[in-house]
Structure 1
Amino acid sequence: MSASDIILQRLMSLHPKVIDLSLDRMHRILSALGDPQLRIPPVIHVAGTNGKGSTQAMIRAGLEAADLKVHAYTSPHLAYFHERIRLAGELISEEELAAALEECEAANDGQPITFFEITTAAAFLAFSRTPADYTLLEVGLGGRLDATNVVPAPRLTVITPISVDHTQYLGDTIEAIAGEKAGIIKQGVPCIVSVQPPEVRAVIEAKAEPLGAPLRIARQDWDAYREGDALIYQDERGLMDLPLPVLPGPHQIGNAGTAIAALRELGFGRAEARAALLEVEWPARMQRLTRGPLIDAAAGCELWLDGGHNPAGGEAVAATLAALPPRPTWLVCGMLNTKDVLGYMQPLAAHAAGLVAVEIPGEPNTLPAAETAAIAAKAGIATSVADDTLAAVTRIAAEHPGARILICGSLYLAGRILRENG
């Protein structure tokens, strides 16, 4: 176990019994640290329900193509905690991470604080000490009261597609959830807005208007769409004919458009837009696996991995499967008991030959495999259960040679798969 793992384990014990969304603890610890969030490079703040990570990764690829140094903060991590913090383009080192965590632990002095809050403070501390040109911040939960929402004047805010998720914390209507996400909009700061339902757009516009925050809205101020084997992007500065993004799936067209709109707002052009599409890397989003024990078990089958876990994620996966060459597709699915499992499954029913349900190892909130299978059956998918992912893949490969196998349902499951097969 590394030094940072030991500290992270200790920090978990400080977590309040329930998630209590508030910025009070964040302001307290940042003040004790000398307010590092005020000394970081210009911030691009990204909120939304779906596409945050992909969009942020594309913006980073575009900025780095311009020879700029970019800090980036994302969550959750997949295989290793260090993935959450990039310093000037590189994953934070073990030494830098352990030092920042220790300093935050000392500044907090044993007071209650969430794991996300104290690790976000560590990220701000590390960002403030390493020179860079931009800082990309991905919201963890919501926006208004998220631990990242302590930068008073970002350079740019971005709101990716909003749908219903985390209702226990953000409200049980899409308007309430949109209000929380729109909480990242700041006085006079431009905001890039992805395609949204009309009621969500209305909430964002109502939030931006009194703040004098200029909105750059999809299908009004810019548009992105596929035409043959090209992505067409258009705004007031003209039209660009670009390659399709390397991240698979029709939903990535919208994410790409949002990223390009952000780059254009920052003054960048065609070269950076092209790099955003072609040089982006973002694991566990319809990722084709090519090595590891599962590939051996798959024995001639196509093996894919996706971490989507809500209804919009299910729709995105379904659309991606529809766009792939026809092949019988079997799902290996493990989900958390906090998610809308039926809402996730329903879009997939038309594309799945069957589903093998598994539990997520080491995850206390995993849904029992039998319950996942029962919900999948309710969605109209033929189901069975397996002891683990390896057993599920082995069985599918033996019974359905040459099938497409998609491991899906949770970022936690995806992270474990990448640790063992990455």
Structure 2
Amino acid sequence: MTILTNARIVLDDEVIHGHVVMEDGIINAIGEGAAAGEDCEGDYVVPGLVELHTDHLEGHISPRPRVRWNTTAAIQAHDAQIAASGITTVLDALRVGLDADSSLTSEDSRQIADVIAAAQDEGRLRVDHRFHLRCEVSDEYALGGFALFDDMPRVALVSLMDHTPGQRQFRSLDAYRAYFQTKSGMSDPEFERFQAERRERAAIWSDSNRRELAIRAKARGVIIASHDDATEAHVAEAVRDGVTLAEFPTTIDAAVASRAAGMKILMGGPNLVRGGSHSGNISVGELADIDALDILSSDYVPFSMLQAAFVLGEREGWTLPRAIATVTKNPAAAVNLTDRGRIAVDYRADLVRVRCHNDGDIPVVRAVYRAGARVA
């Protein structure tokens, strides 16, 4: 049994000064006032963070162009940083269908998934790892890549993505050029041929792949997300496909339509921390202002989840319980993980001790518990 005491405990609707009792991997009791146990020195205790969208693992697998790191070592490094950021459940993003900015194939993704599953079973990892399939619908091999995961029970989320230039995230070809041509080093003629080929490919494959992937995901009972919706037509397409989670809508119109359709809206922590989108799309702050924000993900900076939750309180005026729910309770509910994401009796003892005593402070993760065991 472990007791955390002298803590500011963030519950669903309030913050209390008291203690939390963990026993046999679950929360056994919560109370106000002192108790014998680990003195948290007035720090916050929040639920373990639940991460639905991060491609952070890829940077460990391929840390430099044409460099592949040992997969198990890369996963352990990724896992350690995830845990130290207060994340106790992570959906690792794995590519299905080849996007233009990655050398990782669907076969690579399946191999990575197998190594993660083995590492989890061997007790190598600190946090609970599940899988998020990033399905590039414009790729002709997307369906074959998806089929590689038919026997993988850890798949919890499927995202329908289309990074074709001229729409969604890259509505502006100038923005796409600035992003991709600089990254790839293509000459102007090479880039023009490349982006024309991508648009031709999308015209052939995107709609049919999107429909079929949605059918297959629903047949498996896996939650479906749409990605980078920009128009009401995109949202209507998502409704048709049974989407319940809108990832990174790029415009106010798409966000409002997603909310009206009953979808949960996920945005990136880095966008909120930085004060805007790196690609010129809608800011998280704007969506927070119109009550069109439910979930924050770390996207490409693991620590940004926790930092962004505190920013919601400091910059946007949200209560701390409401802000913390965007990285705990809400993402857990969105993918049907009903045993975590809250500090409540009989829930998993996934807890994070956080020091952030003054407005504007960057929070410090001081301890992380997964199922009652300290992991960071």
Higher relative contact order (CA 8 A, sep 6+): 2
TM exceeds 0.5? no
TM-score, normalised to structure 1, is: 0.28
Greater helix content: 1
Greater strand content: 2
